[in-house]
Structure 1
Amino acid sequence: MSTTYHKIRADKKLLIITIIALVAVIGGSGFGIYKLSTNPPPSPTGDVNHDGKVDDLDTRKSEEKSSGRSTNPVKPPADQKPQIYDLRIDNRYLHDFPGEVFGISIPSGKSQVTEPFEIYSQGIDISKCTIKETVVHDYPDNKKETIVLKAISLQNVVLYDGYNTITVSCPSSAGTIEQSLRIPLTDGLPEACRNFAFTDSAVTANNYDDLKNGVIGLWAGCVTTPWVPKYYVTMTLMPYGIYSAVSNEVMDFSEANAMYYGSEADNPYKQYSIKDFQSNRTGTGEIDITWDATSSQTSRGSLKNIKLMGNKLSFEFFHFHQYGPVTFQLYRQ
């Protein structure tokens, strides 16, 4: 009886701890919308030993096998017809979508990574294949280039920030066989805001009315958060306390959200107000986030350190008065 009683208490304690942890995770995210996930977690680059050097391919395969990284050996198909039955990069077999593999990111300070690429086939002479890598660079101008690779079944390939697609086309007794593997690669760096410059200057608002009236207008600049790379926004602060904010930027295959939280759709319930003027001539206030174009449901947050500097404006936004800061640095347009 005593053992059962203590087991029930332990189970209840575990349940309570789990619920608290879930609430903390949900609250901390604030259901923030960054229209994709944030960047994929860092993953091993081209060397098993993580020493910054790409290993000899034979050595790499041996070390991967001994370390258990070859988690799903490729099995030839049961039929004997000519075919390419798998393409692998860094020996990854889990494709999030057919013909696509995620999870490889560029280490900080690098512009590319080198990974082993392997073709698994039967009834095909790989030496007669055409193997090409097409790269659509993510920054700065989506430039596209094609790289001809060696006609061998295993080789190191260089992958760049953006979409990397390796296409294998081979003649066979069954006709031309072609298969592709796309590898999206992310570097987690700002793009439109990569070279953005903003420095504070003399405050130009001398009183509450100066600040309230001075912020009205169209602004554009960059937003910094604790969670994602800096991104570009445009924001309109209207005289009757309604605002509009949008970001048209796509970084690492993700659409940025101007306020980080909520919907970018215009809504008459997207309202802001400056509540107080501080002795240091900055302001504080509140702002309402909406979640679609029509609903009156809002989530209120704080505006802090509202600083007007002529044709420059900066302020900090805290979702639910606690999650942030989401820092805006804007120039008047």
Structure 2
Amino acid sequence: MSSSVLYDAQGPRAKRRNVVYTVVFVLALAALLWWVYRSLSDKGQLDWEKWKPFFSGSEAWTTYILPGLKNTLIAAAVSMLIALPLGAVFGIARLSDHVWVRVPAAVVVEFFRAIPVLILMIFGNALFSQYTSVSSDDRPLYAVVTGLVLYNASVLAEIVRAGILALPKGQTEAAQAIGLRKTQTMTSILLPQAVTAMLPAIVSQLVVIVKDTALGGAILTFPELLAAVSPMSSYYGANTIASFTIVALIFVVLNFSLTSFASWLERRLRRGKKSTGAVLAPAAVGGTESAGTAA
């Protein structure tokens, strides 16, 4: 019986017990799926008439889904474009040697990171309603973007700070040894190396931004993708399950595409870093060896 550093190899009794657990779990899952199927079928939610609008004709897409998807993408894209650089600025500011920079940045980050994004959206909506001339049609979009930017920029700031602090101290010490200022060290040495390590966490936060746009539709009547379910379901005869399923699949495709792009970008960055070493010509190497021998 072999063993590993991480775990002990299972004996015959443990293997039989795990087989039994697996069979019981599969049977319980199958029973649950069958119950869900029968419940939906008995209520008519699996009838073709409920699903027909999405597969035979474009009315449901052009009237409800695509306009909602457009608003979701606009809100998410604007929030990302503002939150990413803002989070980087506050994350770097928290690492400043100057107290008058570091402390205010820490207060701002911790404050907005502790408040639920929904409250920030509601606050933004009230702010734009009372103190600005933004029209009532555009106000929900402004409020959603404001809430997403304030919350996610503070979270991204912590991701940036943690990514930079995770680098070996030797990187900073080597930069100081060759006379680089702290700004040069940050922009030329630390940030380029930290971006690759931070990329998975950053992408996870971008996925959160895409999903949190739905909060604006639920509370602020922002006409995003999820908000299209209610009028669409009412128009097509209470096909709630079908409408939610289609919208959920669209969110899955969006977030999976974003994650896949980030994975491709991370691999490309890693390959680029591996190929940036300087290559010396054979003559230069030979000249160096000859000089060393002569010395």
Richer in helix (by share): 2
Per the normalisation by structure 1, the TM-score is 0.19
Per the normalisation by structure 2, the TM-score is 0.21
Structure with the larger RCO, 1 or 2 (CA within 8 Å, 6+ apart): 2
Richer in strand (by share): 1
